[in-house]
């Protein structure tokens, strides 16, 4: 079972920065990408950013040009550098590891989640 542990959250003022880290216990041979999601109180969980095993990245429009996702495959860590933070970035942030769906290889599209870490941005 793949385990993920987030760290680096906390409280900052508007305009501040935080870097989240996600430690992954293993990458399966089906692994395709890592993602960050967030969930604010009373709202649905939303996509923040993704990075493929080869390093391709993508971001939600709301965080583009402010957040940067990166990874260290050797250390099995994924990072989310968050700059110019706004109160609307306040949420629980979750790390997610996704497997591809390739039935012939036994890859079933499994998805693994961390427990989340709180980020609070005060105005």
Model confidence pLDDT, tens digit, residues 30-58: 999 999 999 999 999 999 999 998 899 99
Angle at 9 between CA 7 and CA 12, to 5 degrees: 160
Residue 121, helix vs strand vs coil = strand
- Asked whether the predicted pLDDT for residue 81 surpasses 90, the reply is yes
Average pLDDT, the chain: 96
pLDDT recorded at residue 31: 92
Q: Among all chains, which residue has been given the structure tokens 């110019």?
A: 84
Of 116, 78, 111, nearest to 1 (Cα)? 111
pLDDT recorded at residue 19: 98
pLDDT in tens, 5-27: 999 999 999 999 999 999 999 98
């Amino acid at each position: 079972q793949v385990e993920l542990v987030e760290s680096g959250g906390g409280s900052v003022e508007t305009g501040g920065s935080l870097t989240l880290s996600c430690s992954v216990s293993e990458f399966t041979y089906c692994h395709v990408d890592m993602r960050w999601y967030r969930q604010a109180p009373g709202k649905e969980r939303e996509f923040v950013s993704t990075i493929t095993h080869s390093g391709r990245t993508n971001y939600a429009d709301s965080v583009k040009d402010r957040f940067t996702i990166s990874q260290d495959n050797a250390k099995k860590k994924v990072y989310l550098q968050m700059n110019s933070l706004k109160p609307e970035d306040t949420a629980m942030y979750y790390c997610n590891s996704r497997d591809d769906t390739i039935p012939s290889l036994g890859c079933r599209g499994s998805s693994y989640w961390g427990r989340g870490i709180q980020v609070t941005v005060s105005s």
